[in-house]
Amino acid sequence: FCLCRTFLSISCAADALSANVGFFCCVYTKLDGKQSLLCLYETMAATSSAAAQLPESIGFVGCGTIAAAMVRGLCSRTDGPACPVVVVSPRNKQKAEELQAAFPSVVRVADSNQDVVDACDWVVLAVRPQVAEAVLPTLVFRAGQTVVTLIATVSTETIASWVAPVPITSVVRAVPLPPVARQDGATLVYPDHPGVMHLFCCLGQSVSARNEDELAAMQRCSCSRRRFFFTCRNPPARLVDDNKAKPGLVPSFQLLLFLLVPHCCC
C-alpha cells in the first residue's frame, strides 16, 4: 500500500488567486480480501462547516509529542476562531510546563488527569496504548463531552466503554502527525464528526475514513514515511515488479510523489 498526499492550489483568474486547498489520499491495499485503490478527496469547504465551532475548552490526558504538537498548533494560529482554553495533564511535567510558559494566557497545567476531564468540554486522549486500559477507566466523564482518541490500537467501542456515559457518537478517533504544530499536514478522522473535522482543519486539514478498516489502512500508510522515502529514491516501476501495484498506477504514483515531497518533511 502507499499513501500519497498533496495540497493543491488552483488559479481561478488571471488577476487573482483563489486557493482551493484539499487533501488527496491514495491507498492501494487489501480490504475485505480484495485489492482496491481507495481515493479520497476532501476540500476545505467540505470538511470545515461554517456552523462548526471550536469548544470553549479542550483538555489533554497525556502530554507527549503529538499532544504537544496539537496544543502548539491551536495556540499559535493567527486567524480563524479564537483559541479555546487548553488544559494539559501533568503526566509529562516538562512538556506541560513548556506549553504553559509558551502560551500562558490559554494553557493551564492540571493537577491530575481527572482535573483535565472535569475542566473541559472536549477531552483528547493521548496516553500510550500500554497504559490506556489502566488510566482511562478510572476517570469520570460527563455525557455531554466529546472525546477525541489518539490511541491507535484501541477501537471506538472499547474507548466508549471506558469513557461512559459519553455516547459512542461523541467518541472520535484521529491520527494527527507532528506538522499540526505549524498548522500543516492532514489528520485522519473516524467517524465524520463536524466539530472534530473543523478542529483539525484549524490544524492543517482533515479527511474522514468511511469505516475503521479504511482508517487502519490509511493509518498504517501514514506511519510508513521511511518506506516512502525509500520508494522516492527507487524507480516506481519496482512496485509493479513486486506485484504491489497495477502498471497503470505507476505514472500517477510518480506524479503524486513529486507533488507530495514538499509537504511530507517535518
At 3-42, the pLDDT tens digits run: 333 333 222 222 222 233 333 344 434 444 444 334 343 3
Give me the mean pLDDT over the 207-229 stretch: 73
The CA distance from 73 to 76, in Å, is 5
Give me the mean pLDDT over the 93-119 stretch: 96
Q: Which H/E stretch holds residue 147?
A: strand 146-149
Under 8 Å between Cβ of 172 and 191: yes
Under 8 Å between Cβ of 169 and 192: no
- For residue 20, CA distances in Å to 65, 115, 193, 253, 261 come to 30, 41, 22, 22, 19
Give me the mean pLDDT over the 193-200 stretch: 95
Query: Over the stretch 122-174, which tens digit does the pLDDT of each residue have?
Result: 999 999 988 899 999 999 999 999 999 999 889 999 999 999 999 999 999 99
Sheet holding 3-4, edge to edge: 3-4, 22-31, 34-43
Sign of CA dihedral 12, 15, 16, 22: positive
Q: What is the DSSP letter of 76?
A: T
Percentage of residues in the chain having pLDDT higher than 90: 50
The CA distance from 140 to 163, in Å, is 7
Under 8 Å between Cβ of 172 and 193: yes
Q: For residue 100, is pLDDT > 90?
A: yes
Which pLDDT score, from 0 to 100, does residue 232 have? 54
Query: Which triple of cell numbers denotes residue 208?
Result: 474522514
Q: For residue 52, is pLDDT > 50?
A: yes
Percentage of residues in the chain having pLDDT higher than 70: 64
The CA distance from 197 to 49, in Å, is 9
Question: Which of residues 83 and 216 earns the better pLDDT score?
Answer: 83
Question: Which of residues 160 and 228 earns the better pLDDT score?
Answer: 160
Its pTM stands at 0.71
